[in-house]
Amino acid sequence: MSKGRFGRHGGQYVPETLMGALEELEQAYERYKNDPAFQQELGELLAQYANRPSRLYYAKNMTEDLGGAKIYMKREDLNHTGAHKINNVLGQALLAKKMGKTRLIAETGAGQHGVATATAAALFGMECVVYMGKKDTERQALNVYKMKLLGARVVPVTSGTATLKDAVNEAMREWTRRLDDTHYCLGSVMGPHPFPTMVRDFQAVISRESKAQMLETEGRLPDMVVACVGGGSNAIGSFYDYIGDEAVRLVGCEAAGTGVDAPESAATIHVGKPGIFHGMKSYFCQDEHGQIAPVTCISAGLDYPGVGPEHADLHDRGRAEYVAITDEQAVQAFEYVSKMEGVIPAIESAHALAYVMEAAPNMGKDETIVVTVSGRGDKDCAMIARWKGEQVDA
C-alpha cells in the first residue's frame, strides 16, 4: 500500500466495494492529467467560466497600516461562485464526463462545495445530488435554495452529529451503490487516494499563478505564503508550487474556535492524533476512546475534525507551519480587512488574514507575504452580525 502516500499518511482505507471505483478513477485521472486536450479544455473553462487567472492584489492600505512586510492577496474570492472550490469542481466534473458518468454526487458542510458542484452539473447537463447534514441545511438555508435552483437535489443527513463528517459518510455509502453512472466529486484534499492528489493538482493553479505573478511584479518569490486550512485544499493549492523553494515559509491557519485547548477545537494539527477515517490516514481530532471528536468554530468551512494527508506530512517534515486562530481573531480580521481594503473576506479566509495581521508587523519592509483570500464573505455577514449581537435580515 504505497499508493497515494504522503510519508506515513494518506492511503486507501475503504471497504472492498469501493476499491473498484477508486481504481477506475485513478486510471482515468492518470490518463487525462497528461492529456493536452483535457488540459486545454480545463484551461478554457477556468478562464472563460471561472474567471481565471485570479488577481494578485497588492493590499497597500493594510501594508502601510501594519507597517511591515508587503502584503499581496491572491483573490480566489473573485472566481465564479465566489471561492476556490470551482477550480477543483470543474476539473472533476470534466473528468467524470470523460469517464462517461452522467451523475455527480457531493458532500457539503456550509454548502459552498455543494453549490460549486451543482453549478458544474448545470453547466455540463449532469444530474446532481448533494448530501448535507440536516443541521447544516437549517443553518445554510440560502445555499440549499441555490443548489435546488441550479437543479440539484439536496439530501439532509440525520446520522451522527448531522454535520459535514456524516455527509461524507453518506456520500461514500451512496457511491458504492451506484458506481456505474456516478462520480463522487469530493470537496477537499482528503479521503482515499486518488482524491488528495487529484484535488491538489486541480487547486495547484493557485500557486502556479501566484508564483508567476510575484515574479512579474516583485521580481522574486514571496517570503511567506499564508492560507486557511479546513480539509486543506486552498492551502495546498496555495503552497504546492513553492514546496521546493525552501526559503518560502508556508503557513497554514487552522480554526481553534474559542481556543486551541477548548474541547471542541477544530485545529486538527495542534490537537489531533494520528488515525484512520474517511478512507485516509492522517491527524484527526479524537476523544479519549479514539472516536472522532465533535468540533465547532465560527467558520462552517473549517469545521472538519481531520486534515488532508499531505498537510499532515508537511507538518511532520517541518516544511509547513500550522498556526491556530480563534473565532475572536478571525472576526477581528474580517472587520479589519473589510474596512481597510474594501474586501469582505470569507470568515474562513479571515483566519489566514488574522495571522498576516500578526506576522506582517514583525517582518521587514523588504519582505513580502502572499495570503490567499479563499472566498468572499457575503455568505457570512448575517452570521457575524449575530455573533456581534446585531440582527440583520438575511
For residue 312, state whether it binds ligand PLP (rule: CB under 6 A).
no
Q: How far apart are CA 118 and CA 171, in angstroms?
A: 15
CB of 277 to ligand PLP, least distance (A): 16
Catalytic residue of the set 85, 211, 281, 379: 85
Q: What whole-number distance in Å separates Cα of residue 81 and Cα of residue 159?
A: 29
What residues are paired with 235 via a beta bridge?
Answer: none
Near ligand PLP by CB under 6 A: residue from 197, 207, 233, 326: 233
**Is residue 85 flagged as an active site residue?**
yes
How many whole angstroms separate alpha carbon 342 and alpha carbon 98?
Answer: 41
Residue with C-alpha cell 470569507? 346
Is 41 labeled as catalytic in the residue annotation? no
C-alpha to C-alpha distance for 309 and 194, rounded to whole angstroms: 12
Quick one: 118 or 229, whose CB is closer to ligand PLP?
Answer: 229
Is residue 112 part of the contact set for ligand PLP (CB under 6 A)? Answer: yes
- Of the candidates 26, 76, 107, 341, the residue annotated as catalytic is 107
- Please tell me whether residue 207 binds ligand PLP under the rule CB under 6 A: no
Asked if 279 touches ligand PLP (CB under 6 A), the answer is: no
How many chain residues interact with ligand PLP (CB under 6 A)?
20
Query: How far apart are alpha carbons 74 and 254 in whole angstroms?
Result: 18
Find the distance separating the first CA and the last CA of the chain, reported in whole Å. 49
* 358 noted as active-site residue: no
Which of 128, 375, 380, 383 touches ligand PLP by CB under 6 A?
375
Q: With CB under 6 A as the contact rule, which of the stretches 13-21, 216-224, 227-235, 282-290 interacts with ligand PLP?
A: 227-235
Binder among 280, 374, 383, 384 for ligand PLP (CB under 6 A): 374
Our measurement of the distance from residue 277's CA atom to the centroid of its chain's CA atoms, rounded to an integer in Å, reads 18
Report the alpha-carbon distance of residue 361 to residue 148 in Å, rounded: 45
| 4 vs 114 by CB, closer to ligand PLP | 114
Task: Determine, following the binding rule CB under 6 A, whether residue 349 of this chain makes contact with ligand PLP.
Answer: yes
Stretch that binds ligand PLP, among 150-158, 288-296, 346-354, 363-371 (CB under 6 A): 346-354
Which cell goes with 76?
480566489
Interface pick for ligand PLP out of 280, 331, 346, 369 (rule CB under 6 A): 346
Q: How far apart (Å, rounded) are the C-alpha atoms in residues 232 and 313?
A: 12
Distance CA 72, CA 373 (A): 10
- Under the binding rule (CB under 6 A), the answer on residue 257 touching ligand PLP is no
Residue 228 binds ligand PLP (CB under 6 A): yes
DSSP per residue over 181-238, as a string?
A: TEEE---SS-SSTTHHHHHHHHHTHHHHHHHHHHHHHTSS--SEEEEE-SSSHHHHHH
SS3 call for 120: helix
- Residues numbered 38-97 forming contacts with ligand PLP, rule: CB under 6 A: 83, 85
Amino acid at 17: T
232 binds ligand PLP (CB under 6 A): yes
Residue 230 in the binding site for ligand PLP (CB under 6 A):
yes
Which residues lie near ligand PLP (CB under 6 A)?
83, 85, 112-113, 188, 228-235, 301-302, 346, 348-349, 374-375
Catalytic residue positions, numbered: 85, 107, 374
